Amino acid sequence: MSVPPVAVAVAAAERRPGRPRDARADAAITAAAVEILAEKGPGGFTVDAVAARAGCGKATIYRRWPSRATLLLDTAHRLGLEPDEVDTGSVRDDLVLILSQLTTKLRETAAGRILPAVIAEASVNPEMRVVLARFIHDRRERPRHAVERGVARGDLAPDADVEMILDLVGGVAFYRELVSGEPVDDAYVGRLVDRVVAAFGPDAFGPDA
Amino acid sequence: MSVPPVAVAVAAAERRPGRPRDARADAAITAAAVEILAEKGPGGFTVDAVAARAGCGKATIYRRWPSRATLLLDTAHRLGLEPDEVDTGSVRDDLVLILSQLTTKLRETAAGRILPAVIAEASVNPEMRVVLARFIHDRRERPRHAVERGVARGDLAPDADVEMILDLVGGVAFYRELVSGEPVDDAYVGRLVDRVVAAFGPDAFGPDA
DNA sequence: TCGTTCCGGAACTGTTGCGTTCCGTAAATA
DNA sequence: TATTTACGGAACGCAACAGTTCCGGAACGA
């Protein structure tokens, strides 16, 4: 959401002769693109569909984006799937909340449902790979702060590897939801977070944590 | 590999009049299908391409499989990506070996490179979802045995949650390789496995582990 | 020998979707 | 007013691909 588009179509309203671009068309196209991507995924994301939903001609789209691919990349940025802000005062409870939200959203929101196709696209398309990496990095911001608060409070070891904790928690969510197909219920989330927090707790031994 | 095909095309060579099916055509088609799927992924997996690679007509394929989809499902079973057998005598070392193999294979083998597209297909296709779940379940067999040996030896707590350990280790591999795009190097694998093994070690406290 | 089913190969239909072009019209500058 | 670029909408060319049909020829059983 807060990410500027990868490919900006118009080079900032320089004065040109003739009728100017209609700003409402831009809004209609981007809104329609998000809807189509969320409903149909990248596979059903056709320029015809976006134009029809936006109520404009295809030429109006191609005047702003040079290809379907650039429009798709721009749209991928606007997908949402942002974790809610949480701060219960306990790392354990923060992570449980964030994790159960994540698994629910992966299953039940439009953005979550199309993510597998975005991941597949990223595996063959370097541009999409950059977009996805940035997308994921941004969504880790809130869980990262939750873990850092835990370190500061002493719930976790001072040298706990914050990124690895996020990898463990996020990784299992994606893996079970998308890969192995096993559900992630509240009981599982609770046991999982308990283990992870314990593994990086203040009395977790070892030279590196 | 050891999995029987989902859809069997020919109902076991019952005697019919006329020229019998050529067994070499079956072999050529299945071999070509694996190659095409491995090289191009599900998106490039076209019946024309398989027929061309197999050196046969499309009709010869459609005589055996009723549709592209059934051929694709059958082929997905033959992909490989099987972890090697390992038994070093230490859970920690077994898991490190298996995990570094997995990340390497995800990155460098044909089977690994097309997996994202298979996952995406599974997210919208219930038949493919079953195939993928079974595929993953089978590849967890060897790591599962490694962990169970660890429990038996006392390297891990007697009530350690074996499946959760596999989720943690496998989940991070898939997550970093496919989703966040971060590499998984040997140092990371070592630290990760150390943490996981410690979290489920014999002196790991807690009522449930 | 005759009928049936197979073979590889090619042609064909029908659909989908990208990207372009053209239409008549609207909104701007000069 | 003349020019230029915009608009929605429709049509078009082009390519890819699923699935079918036909060809001439080969392999089987009766």
Which has more pLDDT, A45 or A76? Answer: A45
Q: Report the b/e string of A116-139 with b at 16+ CB within 10 A.
A: bbbbbbbbbbebbeebbeebbeeb
Query: Which of A144, A168, A169 would best serve as a mutation to test chain B binding (most B beta carbons within 10 A)?
Result: A168
Nearest one of A53, A92, A124, A104 to A192, comparing CA atoms: A92
Q: What residues contact A51, with CB distance under 8 A and at least 6 apart?
A: A29, A32, A57, A58, A60, A61
* Whole-number Å distance between alpha carbons of B135 and B118: 11
For nucleotide C20, the protein residue with its alpha carbon nearest to C1' is A59
Structure tokens at A23: 């700003």
CB proximity B132 to A under 8 Å: yes
SS3 A54: helix
Check if residue B15 sits with its Cβ under 7 angstroms from strand C.
Answer: no
Residues of A in contact with B125 (CB under 8 A): none
SS3 A160: coil
* Whole-number Å distance between alpha carbons of B28 and B31: 5
pLDDT at B73: 85
**Chain D bases having any atom below 7 Å from a protein CB:** 3-11, 16-23, 25-30
SS3 A139: helix
CB proximity B180 to A under 8 Å: yes
Q: Is residue A7's pLDDT more than 50?
A: no
The CA-based diameter of chain A, rounded to the nearest angstrom, is 71
Report the length, in residues, of chain B.
209
pLDDT at A128: 79
Contact A206 B194 (CB under 8 A): yes
* Whole-number Å distance between alpha carbons of A64 and A57: 12
Residues of B in contact with A138 (CB under 8 A): none
Residue A31 CB coordination number (10 Å): 14
CB proximity B129 to A under 8 Å: yes
B83-97 pLDDT tens trace: 999 999 999 999 999
pLDDT at A15: 65
* 3-state helix/strand/coil string of chain B: CCCCCCCCCCCCCCCCCCCCCCHHHHHHHHHHHHHHHHHHCHHHCCHHHHHHHHCCCHHHHHCCCCCHHHHHHHHHCCCCCCCCCCCCCCHHHHHHHHHHHHHHHHHHCHHHHHHHHHHHHHHHCHHHHHHHHHHHHHHCHHHHHHHHHHHHHCCCCCCCCHHHHHHHHHHHHHHHHHHHCCCCCHHHHHHHHHHHHHHCCCCCCCCCC
Please give the mean pLDDT across all residues of chain A: 88
* Whole-number Å distance between alpha carbons of B65 and A57: 42
Least confident of A89-98, A121-130, B49-58, B146-155: A121-130
B101-131 pLDDT tens trace: 999 999 888 788 888 988 988 888 777 788 8
B2-45 pLDDT tens trace: 333 444 433 444 567 889 999 999 999 999 999 999 888 888 99
In this prediction, residue B205 has a pLDDT band, given cuts at 50, 70 and 90, of low
- Residue A96's H or E segment, with its range, is helix A91-108
pLDDT at B11: 42
Mean pLDDT of A25-47: 93
In this prediction, residue A1 has a pLDDT band, given cuts at 50, 70 and 90, of very low
Measuring from the CA of residue B25 to each C1' atom, give the nucleotide at the shortest distance. C7
* Protein CA A55 to sugar C1' C23 (Å): 18
* Whole-number Å distance between alpha carbons of B92 and B196: 9
Contact A181 B136 (CB under 8 A): yes
* Whole-number Å distance between alpha carbons of A188 and B163: 11
CB proximity A107 to B under 8 Å: no
Find the angle CA(A137)-CA(A139)-CA(A145) to the nearest 5 degrees: 90
- pLDDT over 90 percentage in chain B: 64
Nearest C-alpha in B relative to A200 = B195
Check if residue B12 sits with its Cβ under 7 angstroms from strand C.
Answer: no
* Whole-number Å distance between alpha carbons of B204 and A97: 24
* Whole-number Å distance between alpha carbons of A54 and B151: 59
State if pTM tops 0.85: no
Q: Which of B120, B170, B173 sits opposite A117 (nearest CB)?
A: B120
Measured in angstroms, the CA of A34 and the nearest CA of chain B are apart by 19
Answer whether B61's CB lies under 8 Å from B50's CB: yes
Measured in angstroms, the CA of B74 and the nearest CA of chain A are apart by 19
Check if residue A20 sits with its Cβ under 7 angstroms from strand D.
Answer: yes
Mean pLDDT of B171-199: 95
Check if residue B123 sits with its Cβ under 7 angstroms from strand D.
Answer: no
pLDDT at A126: 78
A144-172 pLDDT tens trace: 999 999 999 999 999 999 999 999 999 99
Answer whether A29's CB lies under 8 Å from A50's CB: yes
